[in-house]
A and B are shown apart, each in its own frame.
Chain A
Amino acid sequence: MPDFDVVIVGSGPGGATTADVLTAAGKSVCVLEKGRNHLLALEPPFESLGRLSNDEIKFNRRHFLGPDPLLEPRTYRRAVADGDRIFTGDVNNMPSTVGGAGYHADGKLPRYREIDFRLAGELGPVDGAEVADWPVDYDEIEPYYAEAERAIGVAGDHTGNPFAAWRSGRYPMPPGADMFLTTLTGPAAETLGYHPYRAPTGANSVPYDGRPACNNCGFCAFYGCPIEAKGDPVALLRRALRTGNCEIRPESIALEILVDSTGKQSRGVRYLDADGTQHEVTSNAAVVACGAFETPRLLLRSGIGNSSDLVGRYLMFHLQTIVLGYFPFRLHAYKGRDVTHLMDDPIVGDAASAAAAKTAGVPYLRGGIVEHGGSGHPIGEALYTPPGQQHSARMAASDRRDRMVGFTMQGEDLPQATNRVDLDPAVRDVWGLPAGRITYTSHEHDVACAHHWGPRLEEVLRQAGAHTTSWLTSPGTPGTRVPGLQPISRHWMGTARMGDDPRRSVCDPWQRLWDVDNVVVTDSSVFPTSTGYGPTLTLVALAVRAARALAGIEPLTSDRANAI
């Protein structure tokens, strides 16, 4: 008898969703999480531990949610020509903690559109990229989106986005309060022909699922919610624990997925506990939900799933175009959630973007969603302001914090086999394991999108009243100001892509490793393309689908004919 039906590695949105679905189906589940538990008591009634707080030092300066770059360094190079690495430390770090990056995120949770699942089929190939269709389409995933929105608790307005895909129902909650600055940027964008809408967000706008409404404290992205108005993933983990079928083991790093003598079936996971003692936990199936950086690292370390040589490849981040506008008056963006409006126009494109594609020599330009947001908190502003005589005066004026609007475009980056995660030949983590190494250069399509949309989004900010504007990209692209060498998008995708052909994908259409079919990957590693939207709602929807299949529950369905 194995110890559990299923061992899940990773407790972020992907792992938490899988645990929720499996435990509700009566499966016994053990969740291994390398980070600490600051989220909820692991004994009934599983209450908040009360450690999340509005504290910029703890969360932004002192790695409270991990991973501490000293303990778990990552390395980065743009291309093989850079040598082994050009940077060691924080490379797009995602929290290492019970709950993963779920509660660190401020949770804009839009759905993808129909075309996002069949880009290759609809728009054809692109030189230098391997754009692929997904093995699942929007109509199939729609009911899982609805389930994900219900399980997490998403507040939104289904009439807001004219480009949105069809839906079988409304959002579970109406949208929350609009930030003041969007009363300026929204109408400005509309005047210029764009279509801003109120961001669907995984934060309660009204009491929901036993948790209170958001009270707009303003410490949303990079902080956990002290009052649990954000449901992802605390609601999912608590529900799984309440079934009595779930055990969460924090500070337990999975070293290796164990396979039997055939090499084709997993029998469990070997891990290290907080004291550094090794254990094996056995199970009928293993779920890997480590996030799309750690998932390939674990698979490579375990030596499984890689007959296609694609584990770690097709890494995608979103090429972020960050557009800043400075206003002559205060905007108090520190009140409220971090982003309250989005627009899809650069994803949908127009005549000008088609012309720009032609000039750039690429078949199309697909930008990304544009987030209308404010700035951060005062330590961040202080650090960006040069020390000396002007520092205190500039802090008092708060140009970079209280009078600034930031648009972020999450530009779709095309999958390239040379962009990858592999194991660093020399740098180690605190457990002696090879650090993950990132090799990444943006495709010319992605760069062309940034250069096309950056100036256009500056126009929106000027229309809204900004006296000065600028734009830059992360990672840096030729001709732009670079905020730092390495990517900072906090999105990771593509490193164990799913598909119909075992030679051209790592996972099958149900997210099982082709090579070891009782190992299921339930994070954004499986995405064949990045789209221009945040990955989380889609990875959660897919995790619901994969977990139901693993538990032998029939698929969910919905009917386009009944679309609202």
Chain B
Amino acid sequence: MALHFLTEHEYEVVARCADRLLPPHAAFVGGAAAGVAGYVDLTLGGFEFDPPRIWAGGPFSGRFGGAATFDQFIPLSRVEELAWRTRIEGSRGIAEREWNGPVRGWQEIYREGIAMLADNFLDLAGEEQEAALDALPELKQLLFEHACEACYGSPEYGGNLDLNGWRAIGYAGDVQPRGWRDEEVTSA
């Protein structure tokens, strides 16, 4: 598989962590199989693409009719690119990015955080993996946010594979242009 930022080891670690944070359950395949690591890789490597993979297009995904256009990502303006590069890559001492001081980037948080986990992290038992992640709250919080987005957001961003996240919770997702009929809204 071609990765955009994560190494293969990091990809595996993110997937394992995703299964600890959003575990498999009756109808839900769990964070790993729902595509969290792919989502994180595409987010961290978003600027490998033109336009960058930050904002999906619109108005419709095609899942409920209309032409599918979510996969046509929207270009960023000059200052938006500055913001998103800063957020993802960190300010790295670049003056243009540090007008209010240094910003730690998501790439650093993942890379440094994963490096601090034991080399044999992938071989640890589930509870041990959880404890290791608990000891790195910055990584855990960011990974949790990204895992929630990946599992329960639009699949065009690389997560929610086969709509597993939405299916597990009985959620239709983006319903335009079909929408819901008035009776569907008002009745039980």
The proximity string for A residues 319-337 relative to B, scoring 1 for CB distances below 8 Å and 0 otherwise, is 0000000000110001110
A177 CB to nearest chain B CB (Å): 4
Tally of contact residues, B, Cβ under 8 A: 66
In the bound assembly, the distance between CA atoms of A398 and B170 in angstroms comes to: 9
In the bound assembly, the distance between CA atoms of A423 and B64 in angstroms comes to: 47
- Across-interface contacts of A36 in B (CB, < 8 A): 77, 80
- Across-interface contacts of A379 in B (CB, < 8 A): 148-149, 152-153
In the bound assembly, the distance between CA atoms of A219 and B22 in angstroms comes to: 25
- Across-interface contacts of A481 in B (CB, < 8 A): none
User: Given A379-B153, A391-B23 in contact, is the A180-B56 Cβ separation under 8 Å?
Assistant: no
The proximity string for A residues 61-80 relative to B, scoring 1 for CB distances below 8 Å and 0 otherwise, is 11010001011010000000
Q: Could you tell me if A55 and B154 are in contact, using CB atoms closer than 8 angstroms?
A: yes
- Across-interface contacts of B174 in A (CB, < 8 A): 53-55, 217, 219
In the bound assembly, the distance between CA atoms of A430 and B91 in angstroms comes to: 14
> Is A183 part of the contact surface with B, judged by Cβ < 8 Å?
yes
Q: Could you tell me if A218 and B175 are in contact, using CB atoms closer than 8 angstroms?
A: yes
User: Given A179-B186, A215-B180, A335-B184 in contact, is the A54-B99 Cβ separation under 8 Å?
Assistant: no
- Residue of A217, A388, A393, A432 near B175 (CB, 8 A) is A217
Q: Could you tell me if B166 and A389 are in contact, using CB atoms closer than 8 angstroms?
A: no
Secondary structure at the A interface, as helix, strand, loop or mixed, is loop
Q: Could you tell me if B24 and A392 are in contact, using CB atoms closer than 8 angstroms?
A: yes
- Across-interface contacts of A388 in B (CB, < 8 A): 20-21, 23, 130
Q: Could you tell me if A180 and B188 are in contact, using CB atoms closer than 8 angstroms?
A: yes
> Is B173 part of the contact surface with A, judged by Cβ < 8 Å?
yes
- Across-interface contacts of B69 in A (CB, < 8 A): 50
In the bound assembly, the distance between CA atoms of A388 and B77 in angstroms comes to: 38
> Is A467 part of the contact surface with B, judged by Cβ < 8 Å?
no
In the bound assembly, the distance between CA atoms of A428 and B99 in angstroms comes to: 7
The proximity string for B residues 62-104 relative to A, scoring 1 for CB distances below 8 Å and 0 otherwise, is 0000000110001001111011001100000000000110010
A154 CB to nearest chain B CB (Å): 18
> Is A86 part of the contact surface with B, judged by Cβ < 8 Å?
no
In the bound assembly, the distance between CA atoms of A52 and B177 in angstroms comes to: 12
The proximity string for A residues 357-382 relative to B, scoring 1 for CB distances below 8 Å and 0 otherwise, is 00000000000000000000111011
B23-54: which have CB < 8 Å to A? 23-28, 30, 54
A477 CB to nearest chain B CB (Å): 27
Q: Which of A88, A329, A334, A379 has the most B CB atoms < 10 Å from its CB? A: A379
- Across-interface contacts of B23 in A (CB, < 8 A): 388-389, 391-392
Tally of contact residues, A, Cβ under 8 A: 64
> Is A395 part of the contact surface with B, judged by Cβ < 8 Å?
yes
User: Given A378-B169, A396-B168 in contact, is the A53-B70 Cβ separation under 8 Å?
Assistant: yes
Q: Could you tell me if A70 and B78 are in contact, using CB atoms closer than 8 angstroms?
A: no
- Across-interface contacts of B130 in A (CB, < 8 A): 388
> Is A226 part of the contact surface with B, judged by Cβ < 8 Å?
yes
Q: Could you tell me if B179 and A51 are in contact, using CB atoms closer than 8 angstroms?
A: no
In the bound assembly, the distance between CA atoms of A395 and B151 in angstroms comes to: 11
- Across-interface contacts of B113 in A (CB, < 8 A): none
> Is A387 part of the contact surface with B, judged by Cβ < 8 Å?
yes
B30 CB to nearest chain A CB (Å): 7
Q: Could you tell me if A53 and B79 are in contact, using CB atoms closer than 8 angstroms?
A: no
The proximity string for A residues 275-299 relative to B, scoring 1 for CB distances below 8 Å and 0 otherwise, is 1100000000000000000000000
Using CB atoms, name the residue of chain A closest to B171.
A378
Q: Could you tell me if B79 and A71 are in contact, using CB atoms closer than 8 angstroms?
A: yes
Secondary structure at the B interface, as helix, strand, loop or mixed, is loop
- Across-interface contacts of A563 in B (CB, < 8 A): none
In the bound assembly, the distance between CA atoms of A177 and B24 in angstroms comes to: 37
- Residue of B70, B86, B170 near A402 (CB, 8 A) is B170
- Across-interface contacts of A387 in B (CB, < 8 A): 20-22, 140, 144, 147
> Is B121 part of the contact surface with A, judged by Cβ < 8 Å?
no
> Is A58 part of the contact surface with B, judged by Cβ < 8 Å?
yes
B129 CB to nearest chain A CB (Å): 12
In the bound assembly, the distance between CA atoms of A356 and B22 in angstroms comes to: 46
In the bound assembly, the distance between CA atoms of A17 and B182 in angstroms comes to: 31
In the bound assembly, the distance between CA atoms of A183 and B179 in angstroms comes to: 21
- Residue of B24, B180, B182 near A217 (CB, 8 A) is B180
Q: Could you tell me if B59 and A226 are in contact, using CB atoms closer than 8 angstroms?
A: yes
Q: Could you tell me if A68 and B152 are in contact, using CB atoms closer than 8 angstroms?
A: no
A72 CB to nearest chain B CB (Å): 9
Q: Could you tell me if A53 and B185 are in contact, using CB atoms closer than 8 angstroms?
A: no
A335 CB to nearest chain B CB (Å): 4
Q: Could you tell me if A275 and B78 are in contact, using CB atoms closer than 8 angstroms?
A: yes
A24-50: which have CB < 8 Å to B? 36, 38, 48, 50
In the bound assembly, the distance between CA atoms of A64 and B178 in angstroms comes to: 24
Q: Could you tell me if A382 and B151 are in contact, using CB atoms closer than 8 angstroms?
A: yes
Q: Could you tell me if B185 and A335 are in contact, using CB atoms closer than 8 angstroms?
A: yes
In the bound assembly, the distance between CA atoms of A395 and B24 in angstroms comes to: 12
- Residue of A55, A56, A179, A275 near B58 (CB, 8 A) is A55
- Across-interface contacts of A329 in B (CB, < 8 A): 188
> Is A427 part of the contact surface with B, judged by Cβ < 8 Å?
yes
User: Given A387-B144, A388-B23 in contact, is the A53-B166 Cβ separation under 8 Å?
Assistant: no
- Residue of A71, A88, A275, A378 near B152 (CB, 8 A) is A378
Which 8 residue pairs are nearest across A and B when measured between Cβ atoms? A215-B179, A53-B58, A54-B174, A392-B25, A382-B148, A226-B59, A378-B152, A177-B182
Beyond A57-B153, A217-B176, A335-B185, 5 additional pairs, beta carbon < 8 A? A50-B57, A50-B58, A55-B70, A226-B177, A378-B171
Question: Interface on A for B, CB 8 Å cutoff?
Answer: 36, 38, 48, 50-58, 61-62, 64, 68, 70-71, 73, 88, 176-180, 183, 214-219, 226-227, 251, 274-276, 329-330, 334-336, 377-379, 381-383, 387-389, 391-393, 395-396, 398, 401-402, 427-428, 430, 432
Could you list 5 A-B pairs, sorted by A, with CB under 8 Å? A54-B173, A55-B174, A180-B187, A218-B180, A330-B170
Question: Interface on B for A, CB 8 Å cutoff?
Answer: 20-28, 30, 54-61, 69-70, 74, 77-80, 82-83, 86-87, 99-100, 103, 130, 140, 144-145, 147-149, 151-154, 157, 165-166, 168-182, 184-188
